[in-house]
Each structure stands twice: as structure tokens, then as C-alpha cells.
Chain A
């Protein structure tokens, strides 16, 4: 099994575990889309570039507020939120969730997925 297939499988498992997860994308530090589980009508190139830019921007700006090493960003909407998780500064896991609140179970599932990605 290739590396990309492994990542895709991990993302698929995470999506199966959490029905509220709408889409997943694993992006590397250069903005390349390594693996994804996206709906058909979504622009793949935009998904690969924008979250990475957003994360980089936040990380850069945070350094001015005496904070470093951004771990996670949660962009909260009215009925949904986007979670951008840093994976050892090499990868960025973008998760689109269609619920208001982040549950510990989701957090643990995401954490386990991240550990799997690191181990893959």
C-alpha cells in the first residue's frame, strides 16, 4: 500500500467514526494535497492552498503576541466549524465539521488519526 493510500484510508476511517465530519484534507508544508476526502463539487486546488495559507498567516502573526508553535485553529461558524491541526509542522489536517461544538470524542478521534498519520 502506498503512502498516499494509507493516508486516504486513515482519513476515511476518521470520517466513518464521526458522521459530523463533512470533509477532510491532508496538506503538506508546500500546500500540496497529500490525501483528501472531499465532496465532489469542491475545488481541490483551493482546498489545498487556502488552509495552509491561513495557518501560516496565523502562526506568523501570533509570534507578535508572544505565542509560538500554533497547534490548532478552530474557525467557528453558525452551524459548523473548520479545524486546522498542525502535524509536526510538516502536515496540516483540515477538517470540516457540521456541528456547533467540538466534543472530546471527536478530539480523541482526531488525535488518534494524527498519531496514525505520524506512524504511517
Chain B
């Protein structure tokens, strides 16, 4: 009959709450009953209540400290033999040496839990053997009668021991212990073999001792009866007491050598010699490029337990060949067809970054993605439609502007023409201005001439006055000539002289008049006057020469007439200049009107161009509107398609039961995406396989895609290697692992409850 398996009690002492919880859960999964406390005082209190099979303590405990706690335990008889494990962060050789004296050990926290559990199991088995040995020794001691057991053999004859169960009990217990541990299935094969060999040895020894004792039973009994009197002599009693003391001393020495509690003195830790990292098996060994097709799972949890090494990681090591674990593959093409079926870009999904709006559902996310892709596709459509001009919805305006730019060129040309015309006008105006200026200049000159004339007239008037003086002088001269009437020639000469004098006088008078007039005009006047005077003088000379001063009155009249004619001429000239001025004014007015006409003409041209622009814009807007309407119609049809597909998938999902654990498997097969949902049903205690849950597949696909994108984004931020291998999510109930297989096949997921 098998005894009911009893869980070993472990007292766990750790001040870090979360670490303590983690270790506790690990121990409980390894079939230990755990009492967890946070400090040494609580631990001592627990020890008062119930003694555990094992104590595991953190090296750094608050308050009392783990070393003093350990020393306290080892000084007490009750707790001395409890196996003790220190859980230390770093390798501490001094501590290991100190603990070794009590057959205890130190475990490093750097080790994986699987290794830790193996160490604990071997340690407990070893201690069980030691306990069995010590128990046998103590029982043997206890079985001997007091005062006789330690007596020297030379002094006392050998007495046969009574055949009793006491001798066999240690080995039986030892066997039982080993059997129990073997039953529990927690001890490794090596430890079991070690224990078994030690059992065989001890059994042999016990058997030989039994034979010996059986041989000696009769004579010892006889000697007991014969030799041992009821009243021993005093000498014998004294020797008996001495021997007893000696035996006690030797026992005490023996005990000291084996289990003497010595305080551990810890010095400063030596420089740590870190162990080389073992090449531990990969927790999730799906490497990039490797399919999960070959991984196998057990048909049921029970069978896995019977195999005694059930663990989720075993799924990944091809240990089971009963049920094939169909895996976990989504090709990119499938994603494109079913989820984002309008994508034509050949960008790999891993390189494609996106920003996820967390407030929106995944469906909305898909639609957004699809819209963005459609925008991209619109761009490509435009390439064919509108004369190789890339136009998106945002770029349409720009294109419209580009379209408008052509009449703008025309407008520019028109503007240039108008500008030229204006320039011509300006030049003509300038010319006109120049002409007017010339005319003005002419007018000025004419004015000047008129002024000159007036001045001349004035000068003439003065000269006429002077001439009148001259006449008077001439008259006087005539009187003189009449009086003398002698020498005509001389008188002529004198007359000439006089006329010359008169001329000289006129010249001086003219000079005075010049001084009175302005500077330049005066020069001109003087020159003109000189010329006129010269002409006048010449005429006068001629007249005088011709008439020979006889008809002086006639000359005066003539001069008067000339002056009058000159005056008339001057008046005419002034009239002419006035006419010219009016003509210039009229010309100016004409140019101004021409300018105004030109401006109005340019305005008209501009207005025409603007109207043309507006017409063109309206035309382009109309065409753009038509195109957008057609695109919107296309988008609506695409959205309807998606909705129909999703709804079709959702109907198939309705029957999915609530499960504690599942793995979703995907692969493409003849353009149809098949999903294999493998899960462990806790109620039925078996693994179940279902097919075709397209909605789950889609949801998972989106999730996986977004998860890897976010993960790669996290890596990018930290400027790390961008390849995300896998993502492990730990919740209170489950552990979900998303694994990236390669660029083509995206990811797989495994969901396993924490219990497993």
C-alpha cells in the first residue's frame, strides 16, 4: 500500500515582498507547502509552532540578520538538524564554507528556477540520508544498556544483543524516506541512484551485524545470567562509573565532531568569482526563419504529468509525438489580402512604422490604415489619369493653381504688351514732352526774341530819342553847314565824323541799356542790338551816305515806320508764342487723355484674364469634384466589403468557448486562411483543437502586427538593434508569448496559464 504523499513544509524567510511571492509560487508549483515570513523573529515564532522540513532564507534580512538567525537555530537542539538554504545574490565562498560544517548550502540567485529546484531536491535527499544515518547511530546507542555499552571489550565479555526491531528500524526508515522521495518524483535519477547505493550498503552492513548478533545471542544470555550478579562489589561499581564518564565524554566528542554548533564568523567577502553562464535552454526557442510546425504537445495534462516532466517549455522540445502542434504562421500576403487588401506597396511590415490611436477600436484602426493606403493608391491612379501629374486630394489645389498658371503666362504677355504700350506711350509722352519742351524752349526763345525785340524796340526808342538828339545836332550841323556852305567835302567829312560820333554815342547808350537788362539776355540783346544797330547804323550810314544828310526828316520817319513795323512784328511774334503755348497745352491734354484711354484698355485686358481664370478654376473644380465623388464611391464599396468579411468571421466566432489557455495557429492554404485554435480546457482536463476561427485570426493578426510595430518603435527610441525577437506578456492568470518567425511569416502566439 502506498502512503498518501505528504507535501514537505518549507519555511521561506525573505523581506522583499514580491521576491518572496515569486519564490513561494515557484516552490508551490514544485509541490512544497510553503510558510513565508519576512523576518527572523517571525521565522522563530513559526518554528515554535511547527518544525519545517526546510528553511530557505534571504542572506540580507532586516533587524536580527540572517547569520545570527542561523547561529541561533544551530545552537538549539530542536532546530539544529533542519536543512537550511541561504539564498544569496552573489557567490559567497566564506559563507559557503561556514555553512558546510552543518551540511547546509548557499544558492545563488543568478540561477534559473529549474536549477534551483534540482539543487533543493538533491540537497534534501542528501540530508535525508544523513538524518537516517545519524538516527541509526543514535538508536544503536540508545539500544545498548546503560553502563555496558561503552565498557571496554577486554574488561567485559561480549554479550549477545537481543534480536529486536530497533536494529532494523533506521534502514527501514531510510528506505521509506527514499521511497517517498522517489514517489514524489522530484528527485533526479542521479540522486535516486546514490541513495539506492547507500541503502544497499547500509542493508549489507545491517545484515552482517544481524548475523553476528544472532551468533552471539545465546552465549551473551548465558553470561548475563552467570556473570552479572545482583550486588556488584564496590570496586566494580567505581570502575563502572569511571567507564560511564569516559563513554559520555567520547559521545560528547563524537557529537561535537559531527554537529557541534559553531558560530559562523563572516569576514569581508572575497572578490566574486562569477560562474560562467551556463547555456540554458531557450525559453522560447523559435528562432527567426524557423517554423513552429514541428513542435509537439501532449494529448492531455494527465499524460504529461505521468511523464513526470510536464512543463510548457517541453512543448518546444519535440518530446511528444502524439498531437502535432500546428503553428502559428501568417504570411504577409494573407494579411494584405484579408485585412489590408488594397495595399500594393512592397514595404515589409516590420519596417512600416505607424502611430496607433489607443482610443479607437481595432476596426477603426484597420479602416484608417485602409484609407491611408487608398490615398496612396489614389496617387497612383492619378498618374495614369491626368497626364503623369501626381495628384492627391491635397495636391489637387496645387494642380488647379498650376492649371491657372498658363493663362497667367498669357496675362504676363498681355501685361508685357501693355507695359510696352505704356512704355511707348511714355516715350511718346516723353517725346511730346520733349516736343513741348522744345516748343516751350522755342516759345522761350521766341519770348526771348520778343523780349529782345521789345528791348530792341526800347533801344530803338532810345535810339530814336538819341536820333532826335542827333537830328537836333544834325540840324545844328545843317545850320552850320548852311551858314558856312563852303566846304561840302569837309562838311561831309565832318558830318561823317559827327555821324561816327553819334554812332559812338549810340553804342555807349546801347551799352548802358545792356547793363540795365539781364545777363545772358543782355548779351543776346546786345548781340542782336549790335547786329540791329549795326544794320541800323549801316542803313543809317547808307541813308546818310545816300541822302547825304539832306533828307534827315525822311530818315527819321523811316526809322519811325521801321520801329512801328518792328513793333507789329513783335506783336505778331507774341501772338505766335501764345498760339504755340496753347498748342502745347492742347498736346499735353491730348497725351493725358491718351494715357487714360490706355489705362482703361489695360484694365479691360486684366478683367478679361481674371474672368478667364475664374472660368478655368470652375472647370477644374468641377472635374476634381467628379473624380473625388468616384473615389468616395469606390471607398464605400471597399468598406462594405470589409464589413461583410468581418461580419462573416464574427459569426463563426460566436461558438468559441471560454478557455483557460490557448494558442492560435495560422497558415495560408490555397488562398484560404485557416486558423487552428489549440487550447487546454481545464474542466475537461484535455487539449482541444478547433478550426476556422477567422475573426480570432484577424483580431490576432492585427494585434500581433501592432504589438511588433510598437515594440520595434520602443527599440528605435532607445537606439537599440531593431529586430524584435519575441514579446512576453505576463498577466495575473496567463503568460502570452508573441514570437516573430521571420520577415515573411510574422508571428505566433502561445497563451499559457500561470498554473502550468
Contacts and interface: CB of A to CB of B under 8 A. Distances in A.
B729 A70 contact: yes
B341 interface: no
B730 A42 contact: no
A82 B111 CA distance: 21
A53 B356 CA distance: 8
B358 A82 contact: no
Interface stretch (B213-221, B395-403, B528-536, B715-723): B715-723
B455 interface: no
A9 interface: no
Contacts, number: 140
A13 interface: no
Contact of A108 (B19, B356, B659, B710): B19
Interface string A81-119: 010000000000000100001011101100110110000
A65 B736 contact: yes
A67 B730 CA distance: 10
Nearest to A70: B731
Most chain A CB inside 10 Å of its own CB: which residue of B710, B715, B725: B710
A120 interface: no
A67 B731 CA distance: 7
A53 B355 CA distance: 10
Contacts of B717: 42-43, 46-47, 50
Given A54-B713, A61-B707, A82-B718, A105 B109 contact: yes
Contact of A57 (B108, B356, B659): B356
A90 to B, nearest CB: 16
Contact of A115 (B17, B108, B362): B17
Contacts of B721: 77-80
Interface in B646-668: 658-660, 662
Given A70-B731, A71-B731, A115-B17, A103 B109 contact: yes
Interface residues of B, number: 51
Contact of B358 (A47, A57, A78): A57
B751 A67 contact: yes
B718 A104 contact: no
B5 interface: no
Nearest to A56: B358
A73 B727 CA distance: 7
Contacts of A112: 16, 18-19
B138 to A, nearest CB: 39
A50 B709 CA distance: 11
A115 B731 CA distance: 18
A60 interface: yes
A74 B736 contact: no
B350 interface: no
Given A57-B707, A67-B733, A111 B18 contact: yes
Query: Which among A23, A47, A67, A104 has the highest number of chain B CB atoms within 10 Å?
Result: A104
Given A65-B736, A103-B109, A58 B726 contact: no
A108 B358 contact: no
Interface string B90-120: 0000000000000000001111110010000
Contacts of A73: 727-730
A83 to B, nearest CB: 10
A76 interface: yes
Contacts of B557: none
A103 B18 CA distance: 15
Contacts of A74: 727-730
Nearest to B704: A61
B365 to A, nearest CB: 10
Nearest to A73: B729
A58 B703 CA distance: 8
Interface in B283-340: 283-284
B733 A68 contact: yes
Nearest to B284: A76
B621 interface: no
A62 B734 CA distance: 10
A41 B732 CA distance: 36
Given A58-B707, A82-B715, A71 B699 contact: no
Contacts of A75: 711, 714-715, 724, 727
B280 interface: yes
B729 A58 contact: yes
Contacts of B736: 62, 65, 67
Nearest to B112: A104
A107 B22 contact: yes
Interface in B14-72: 16-19, 22
Contact of B751 (A50, A53, A54, A65): A65
3 closest A-B pairs by CB: A111-B18, A105-B109, A54-B710
Given A50-B717, A72-B729, A105-B109, 14 more contacts: A57-B707, A58-B707, A58-B729, A61-B362, A64-B699, A68-B733, A71-B731, A73-B729, A73-B730, A75-B724, A77-B720, A78-B721, A82-B718, A111-B16
15 contacts: A41-B719, A42-B717, A47-B718, A57-B358, A65-B751, A69-B732, A71-B732, A73-B728, A74-B727, A74-B728, A76-B724, A76-B725, A77-B724, A80-B720, A104-B109
Interface of A: 22-23, 41-43, 46-47, 50-51, 53-54, 56-58, 60-62, 64-80, 82, 96, 101, 103-105, 107-108, 111-112, 114-115
Interface of B: 16-19, 22, 89, 108-113, 116, 280, 283-284, 356, 358, 362, 658-660, 662, 699, 703, 706-707, 710-711, 713-715, 717-721, 723-734, 736, 751
